[in-house]
Amino acid sequence: MSILLLLVAIVSLTILVVVHELGHFWVAKKSGVWVEEFGIGLPPRAWGKKIGETLYSINWLPIGGFVRLHGETSEQKITDKKRAFINASKKVKVAVALGGVAGNFIFAALIFVIVGMIVGVPNGKTVVGVEGVSEGSPAANAGIQTENAIVSVNGQRVPMTGDFIQSVQEHVAQDIVLHVRSGLAVEDLVREVRLVARENPPEGQGAIGVVISDASELYRPPLWRIDIYIIEGLKITFFATRAVVIGMVGLFVDLSSGGEAQGVAGPLGIVAIIFEIFRRFGFERLLAVMAMISINLALINLLPIPPLDGSRVLMAMLEGVLGKVKNQKVEKYAFTIGMAIVLVFFVAVTASEVPRFIAAGSVSGFVDGILGI
C-alpha cells in the first residue's frame, strides 16, 4: 500500500511539471519555434519516438519533464536559424517563457472545476463542518467523522459553530439527537445520531469531542450548468493565488529579518505531503493539493532568477537595451550561475529534510512538522 501511495505522489508531482512543460511546448509550436524533444522524466532515455520534427521521450528518472528547443543558446549547433529560439523575437521569447506559467494556472483552475463537480460549490450559506474527532469521544463512538457536517441538534438547525456550541451546552449530560450530513453538500446523505454530551470532558476536548468550524454549505448544480463550476473554479484559483503570494511575501520578510522559513517544503517534503494527503483524505483532497502546488510552481517560475522562466522574460526585455549579442553572453553566464545556485539550494534543502524525516519517525510526523500541525 505504501509503495502505491508513493507511486501516486511521484506521478502527481510529475504531472504538475509535465503540465508546465506542455505550456512551453504548445506556445513554442504555435510561435514557429522548433521543439526538438518533449520528454517525460529526466534522462537517461528509456524510450523515444520521433513524430514529425519532435522526439517524444520517456526517461528513466521519474521526476518532472522537459522541453528541448532548437537553438536555446548560442553554443548549440543551429541548423535552422529562422526557427531557433535564440533568434526569435522578444515577444515570442516572452510568450514561450510564460507558457509554462500559464499552463500551471490553467491546470489549477481545471482541477478546482473538477473538484467542484465532485464535492459541490458554495450556495452562500454556512454549516458546521467537522474538522476532527477525538478518539474515544461520544462523537467518535457515534460514528461522526472528519468532513461530516452537523445540520441540527434536537431538530433545531445550527448553521454556525456558535449555535451548535450553545445548543450542546444547553443539553449537557442529556441525550442529544444530531442530524449529521456525510459531507458539506446539501445533496449528501443525512443520518440521525444519538449521543450523550459529557459534563466534564477531558482537557482540550468539548462536550462531544469534535473540532468544528464554520464552513460553506455546498450544492451540486446540474452538469449542463458548467458555467457555474467554471466561474467558481476561477474564483478559487484567484483567491488561492492571492493567498500564495501573501505567503511568499511573508516568507521573504521573515527570511530577510533573520527568521526561519516556516511551512516550506523541498522535493522530499512535497512528495511526502502528496503521499500523506492522499492517504488521509483521498482523491478529492489530493486534487486540491495538486492545484495549490501548481499555483506555487507557476509563481515561483515568475521569479527573475535563472534558470526560472522569469529570468528569460527579464533577458528578453534587456535585449533591447544590451543588444542581442551582448545579451546572449549575459544570459549564458547568468544561466550558468543561476543553475549552480538552484542545484546547491536543491541539494541543501533535500539534505536538511532527510534528518527531519528520520527524526519524525514517520511520513505523518514529517508532514505534520512541515505544516505546523
Supply the CATH number for residue 190's domain.
2.30.42.10
CA distances from 79 to 52, 74, 248 (A): 16, 12, 42
Same domain, 267 and 359: yes
- Of 160, 192, 219, at which residue does a domain stop? 219
DSSP string covering 237-306, please? HHHHHHHHHHHHHHHHHHHHTT----S---HHHHHHHHHHHHHHH-HHHHHHHHHHHHHHHHHHHTSS-T
Which residue range forms the structural domain that includes residue 174?
123-219
- Of 219, 247, 277, at which residue does a domain stop? 219
More confident residue, 369 or 272: 272
C-alpha cell at 188: 449528501
Q: Read off the pLDDT of each residue in 93-116 and give the average, rounded to a whole number.
A: 96
Same domain, 128 and 104: no
pTM metric for this prediction: 0.86
Q: 207 φ, ψ to 5°? A: -60, -35
C-alpha cell at 47: 524510450
- What gap in Å lies between CA 340 and CA 346, rounded to an integer? 10
Same domain, 99 and 33: yes
* Band (264; pLDDT cuts 50, 70, 90): low
Same domain, 88 and 197: no
3-state secondary structure 146-201: CCCEEEEECCEECCCHHHHHHHHHCCCCCEEEEEEECCCECCCCEEEEEEECCCCC
Same domain, 115 and 263: yes
Residue 194: how many other CB atoms lie within 10 Å: 10
Distance of CA 363 to the CA centre of its chain: 18
Cβ atoms of 28 and 85 within 8 Å: the answer is yes
Cβ atoms of 316 and 300 within 8 Å: the answer is no
Residue at 251 is within a domain: no
* Band (261; pLDDT cuts 50, 70, 90): low
* Band (327; pLDDT cuts 50, 70, 90): low
More confident residue, 226 or 9: 226
Report the interhelical angle of 267-281 vs 2-31 (nearest 10°).
Answer: 120
pLDDT in tens, 158-176: 999 999 999 998 888 888 9
Same domain, 115 and 168: no
C-alpha cell at 81: 536559424
3-state secondary structure of 78: coil
Please check the confidence at residue 6 and state whether its pLDDT lies above 80.
Answer: no
- What gap in Å lies between CA 196 and CA 214, rounded to an integer? 23
Same domain, 275 and 288: yes
Same domain, 67 and 97: yes
Q: Read off the pLDDT of each residue in 40-46 and give the average, rounded to a whole number.
A: 89
Q: Which residue type does 132 have?
A: G
Residue at 321 is within a domain: yes
* Percent of the chain predicted with pLDDT > 90: 49
Residue at 235 is within a domain: no
> Which residues make beta-bridge pairs with 45?
59
Same domain, 113 and 134: no
> Which residues make beta-bridge pairs with 149?
129, 181
Please check the confidence at residue 1 and state whether its pLDDT lies above 60.
Answer: no
* Band (64; pLDDT cuts 50, 70, 90): confident
CA distances from 23 to 19, 103, 253, 261, 303 (A): 6, 5, 31, 30, 17
For the chain, the domain total comes to 2
**110-119, 169-178, 334-343: lowest mean pLDDT where?**
334-343
Same domain, 102 and 160: no
Please check the confidence at residue 70 and state whether its pLDDT lies above 80.
Answer: yes
Same domain, 208 and 289: no
Cβ atoms of 151 and 158 within 8 Å: the answer is yes
Please check the confidence at residue 368 and state whether its pLDDT lies above 70.
Answer: yes
3-state secondary structure of 14: helix
pLDDT at 202: 85
Same domain, 268 and 361: yes
Report the chain's terminal Cα–Cα distance, integer Å.
Answer: 24
Name residues whose C-beta falls within 8 Å of residue 349's C-beta, 6 or more positions apart in sequence.
264, 266, 267
